[in-house]
Amino acid sequence: MLKHTTLYLLSAIFLMAACKPKGAGDAVNSDAASKVYVAPGQYDEFYGFVSGGFSGQLSVYGFPSGRLLKVLPVFSQNPETGYGYSEETLPMLNTSHGFVPYDDLHHVQVSQTNGEMDGRWVFVNGNNTPRVARLDLKTFKTVEILELPHSAGNHSSPFLTENTEYVVAGTRFSVPDDGVEYPIHTYKDNFKGTISFIGVDKEKGDMNIAFQLEVPALNFDLSHSGKGPSSGWFFFSTYNTEKAYTLLEVNASQRDKDFIMAVNWKKAEEMIKAGKGKKKPAKYAHNKWDEHKHSATSEIKNEVLVLTPDQLKEVCYFIPCPKSPHGTDVDPSGEFIVGSGKLAALLPVFAFSKIKKAIENKDFDGEYDGFNVLKYESVLHGEVEKPGLGPLHTEFDDKGNAYTSFFVSSEIVKWNVKSLEILDRVPTYYSIGHLTVPGGDTKKPYGKYVVAYNKITKDRYLPTGPELTQSAQLYDISGDKMQLLLDFPTIGEPHYSQIIPASIIKDNSLKFYKIEENQHPYVAKGEDQTKITREGNKVHVYMTLIRSHLTPDNIEGIRVGDEVYFHVTNLEQDWDLPHGFAIKGANTAELLIMPGETQTLKWTPKQTGITPFYCSDFCSALHQEMSGYIRVSPAGSNTPLRY
Ligand code: K7E
Ligand code: RUQ
Ligand code: CUA
């Protein structure tokens, strides 16, 4: 009965989010338009990489204009480019469960050097089938996907250490080891949490699981790396200290305080270097894109190194944090850590110097599952009082201020990190989740804007049926008061994003692939290298595209039942000259091939007749001429190959 009362109360609080804050219509000043106006032909000042949530994609926006520049498929198939359809890209979406072309992408991190965004790569998490992906910002392509074993609900991920030494990923659902079944009610004894430390190659960016920590069964929600004085530490918000395994939202919120777990990852790393890691069976896919072969490979790995709870007493410490903390955010100085208890009426700010002292002095308040718990009061810098309802995430500017999102009261609150004084608040329309200041989780914020990513759109845009676009809002934070400038729709549900000065990225952007560097096994580097080969029923067509013809363009001798592989090379050597490739009735893919690249479409003709194919991207005045015919003869016929 009590449980149900709590449930109703909680639902009531969260449903309030659907109410409309006052003054929704008149929140914009007349100069807002000029502040977001980027004249035709001009570039935006910032790139924004915005999570696409359950669309499994990442989108690229220009700021301050809010113009959508590109949608980048990661854990999804994309008919626009053939990603996840072409033979070369299929392995990217392989997992230990087979081909999984969807996921729920929440968090975005641009690679860092010395705690500042360096613009080399973007890392994102797959929340559902636990994966971490890396995109290369030279090509804006997904180049690596690594599955995480013994994890479920890869939510507190993929947060980075200051020099991108590690991508860190904590499990949201505690589970037993992969493949092991226990009665669910034995949760307390048999379930556990894991935190993966994924090593990143300094030059190439290649990821590998360096080690995993086995930790108590808790829900690891979010995390952030320490920096400066807190270098070498990582902070995770956790909830469900009650170890509930049913009606989670309610049971998991009964206690007054949950925990932030502080992890001394430098110490864990030393233990691994000293050979203390234990080998444990694991099954996970590691998929890599080869830029020269223009192809992906997928490898299934079968082992990880782990440190077990009995080894971690001097690695992990618990900090009490009020009611179901969500974001754990570290300020640019690295001294202050903000915990956001979703159901708490205040915002605790912890001081790293006090955490360090408490650990040195062994100033503990008992244990939780064999780990030392620090005293709340002894590590607290202070509390922001009555900040708002339902705090989720905090970002920082370069003037010592913090910006916290409040889901239930649907607002952003600006406060000073040292004085804890509330300075300003603005409504968001409606019910904000994450928010982003450019560089706002690094040592170097660019405190010009904050972008709100909202959970509920309601009536901000023209109705589009029951399903509305998701929505984001851009605010100017350069003055004392925040000012709403712009609404813009997003692709899928936006969670976190990263916003980075365009100057760090744009000059490194690749214009086209050099044809002489193309190492695709089926490349034709000129029309003289085009050909068709047959082995049994497998036919390989080495085809080229250049304005404005496909070579070969008349193909005979294909039979019903053949497996035909069209390896299509775009011979152009210039920026912005892709060609498309489409075959009538092909149910595998339609391709978009970049200059210098080779991609493959697999086609298994089911009926006899004449099948046209053509370039599907308008590429020149003779684009409509860019087409050809295939003659398909009956199975077993002996029409000779002719092209
Ligand atoms: Cu707050 Cu998945 Cu980062 Cu979304 S989580 S809001
Ligand atoms: S054609 S430019 Cu199909 Cu009218 Cu498009
Ligand atoms: Cu090539 Cu149109």
Handedness of CA 172, 174, 176, 182 (dihedral sign): negative
**Together in a domain, 488 and 549:** no
**Together in a domain, 543 and 566:** yes
The domain boundary, picked from 488, 508, 528, lies at 508
**Together in a domain, 611 and 497:** no
Domain span at 608? 518-633
**Together in a domain, 529 and 504:** no
Handedness of CA 455, 458, 464, 465 (dihedral sign): positive
C-beta of residue 490 within 8 angstroms of C-beta of residue 471? yes
Domain tally for the chain?
2
Three-state SS across 382-451? EEEECCCCCEEEEEECCCCEEEEEECCCCEEEEEECCCCCEEEEEECCCCEEEEECCCCCCCCCCCCEEE
Listed residue (561, 639, 470, 593) closest to 68, CA to CA: 470
Output the residue whose Cα is nearest ligand 3's atom 1. 579
Separation CA 198–CA 133 (nearest Å): 11
C-beta of residue 152 within 8 angstroms of C-beta of residue 265? no
**Together in a domain, 282 and 405:** yes
Which atom of ligand 3 approaches the CA of 616 most closely? 2
Q: Is 4 inside any structural domain?
A: no
Cβ 623 under 6 angstroms from ligand 3: yes
Q: What 3-state DSSP class applies to 527? A: helix
Q: Is 339 inside any structural domain?
A: yes
**Together in a domain, 107 and 158:** yes
pLDDT of 248: 56
Separation CA 160–CA 637 (nearest Å): 59
**Together in a domain, 528 and 397:** no
Q: Is 639 inside any structural domain?
A: no
What CATH number does the domain containing 626 carry?
2.60.40.420
Q: Is 28 inside any structural domain?
A: no
Three-state SS across 554-599? EEEEEECCCEEEEEEEECCCCCCCCEEEEECCCCCCCEEECCCCEE
**Together in a domain, 349 and 425:** yes
Handedness of CA 438, 440, 446, 452 (dihedral sign): positive
Which atom of ligand 3 approaches the CA of 545 most closely? 1
Q: Is 9 inside any structural domain?
A: no
Listed residue (142, 138, 102, 104) closest to 123, CA to CA: 142
What CATH number does the domain containing 239 carry?
2.130.10.10
Separation CA 504–CA 445 (nearest Å): 14
C-beta of residue 618 within 8 angstroms of C-beta of residue 545? no
Find the 42 Cα to ligand 3 centroid distance in Å.
Answer: 27
Q: Is 155 inside any structural domain?
A: yes
Find the 380 Cα to ligand 1 centroid distance in Å.
Answer: 25
pLDDT of 247: 67
The ipTM of this complex is: 0.79
Q: 549 CB contacts (<8 Å, ≥6 apart)?
A: 625, 626
C-beta of residue 170 within 8 angstroms of C-beta of residue 157? yes
* Tokens at 223, concatenated: 């995390």
- Among the bound ligands, name the one nearest to the CA of residue 595: 3
Find the 530 Cα to ligand 3 centroid distance in Å.
Answer: 18
pLDDT of 2: 36
Cβ 615 under 6 angstroms from ligand 3: yes
Q: 112 CB contacts (<8 Å, ≥6 apart)?
A: 118, 160, 161, 162, 163, 164, 442
Q: What 3-state DSSP class applies to 229? A: helix
Averaged pLDDT, groups of 10, the chain, 643 residues long: 40 45 60 95 98 97 98 97 97 98 98 98 98 98 98 96 98 93 92 96 98 94 96 95 75 76 98 98 98 98 97 97 93 97 91 98 95 97 95 98 97 98 96 98 98 93 92 97 96 96 97 98 98 97 97 98 98 97 94 98 97 96 95 95 94
Q: What are the distances in angstroms from CA 300 to CA 75, 144, 332?
A: 18, 14, 39
Q: How many C-beta atoms surround the C-beta of residue 327 within 10 A?
A: 26
**Together in a domain, 504 and 529:** no
**Together in a domain, 525 and 493:** no
Q: Are strands 346-351 and 325-330 parallel, antiparallel or unpaired?
A: unpaired
Q: Is 22 inside any structural domain?
A: no
* Tokens at 46, concatenated: 């910032």
Cβ 342 under 6 angstroms from ligand 1: no
pLDDT of 28: 79
**Together in a domain, 500 and 542:** no
Q: Is 26 inside any structural domain?
A: no
Cβ 618 under 6 angstroms from ligand 3: yes
The domain boundary, picked from 455, 487, 508, lies at 508
pLDDT of 457: 87
Listed residue (340, 346, 434, 379) closest to 262, CA to CA: 379
Task: Order the strands of the 57-63 sheet from edge to edge.
Answer: 67-73, 57-63, 46-51, 497-501
Separation CA 347–CA 393 (nearest Å): 11
pLDDT of 249: 53
The domain boundary, picked from 442, 474, 508, lies at 508
**Together in a domain, 436 and 524:** no
Separation CA 629–CA 552 (nearest Å): 9
Partner residues linked to 591 by β-bridges: 581
